[in-house]
Amino acid sequence: MIYDKRNVLSKLDSIQSLNLEVGCGSKKISSDFIGIDILDFDCVDIVGDIFDVLKEIPSNSVDKIFSRHFFEHINDLSTLIDEFSRILKVDGKIKIIVPHFTNPYYYSDYTHTKFFGLYSFCYLAKDNFGLTRKVPAYKKTFNLELYNVKLIFSTNPGVIILSAYKKFLTYIFNLSTPLMEFYEENLCYIFPCYELVFYLKKSDIKYK
Query: What residue ranges do the domains of the chain occupy?
Result: 59-207
Q: Are 123 and 142 in contact (CB under 8 A)?
A: no
Over residues 111-125, the mean pLDDT reads 95
With 0-12 / 13-18 / 19 or more C-beta atoms within 10 angstroms meaning exposed / middle / buried, residue 16 is exposed
Over residues 59-65, the mean pLDDT reads 97
- How far is the first Cα of the chain from the last one, in angstroms, to the nearest whole number? 35
Q: Are 36 and 53 in contact (CB under 8 A)?
A: yes
Confidence of residue 161 (pLDDT cuts 50, 70, 90): confident
Region of 91 please: left (phi>0), alpha (psi -120 to 50) or beta: left
Identify the CATH homologous superfamily for domain 59-207.
Answer: Vaccinia Virus protein VP39 (3.40.50.150)
What pLDDT score does 153 carry?
A: 97
Q: Are 103 and 154 in contact (CB under 8 A)?
A: no
User: Who's near 31: CB < 8 A, 6+ residues apart?
Assistant: none
Over residues 80-97, the mean pLDDT reads 97
> Hey, which bits of the chain come out as E strands?
3-4, 19-22, 34-37, 46-47, 62-68, 88-99, 126-127, 142-152, 195-207
Nearest CA to 95 among 127, 129, 68? 68
Residue-averaged pLDDT of the chain: 95
Q: Residue 205's CB: how many other CB atoms inside 10 A? A: 11
What pLDDT score does 138 carry?
A: 81
Confidence of residue 157 (pLDDT cuts 50, 70, 90): confident
Calpha distance 145→126 (Å, rounded)? 5
What pLDDT score does 139 carry?
A: 73
Over residues 159-182, the mean pLDDT reads 94
What single-letter DSSP state applies at residue 204? Answer: E
Over residues 44-51, the mean pLDDT reads 97
Mean pLDDT check: name the lowest of 83-92, 159-168, 176-185: 159-168
Residue 9 has pLDDT above 80, yes or no: yes
What pLDDT score does 119 carry?
A: 97
Residue 194 has pLDDT above 90, yes or no: yes
Residue 196 has pLDDT above 80, yes or no: yes
Over residues 99-116, the mean pLDDT reads 94
Residue 131 has pLDDT above 80, yes or no: yes
What pLDDT score does 160 carry?
A: 81
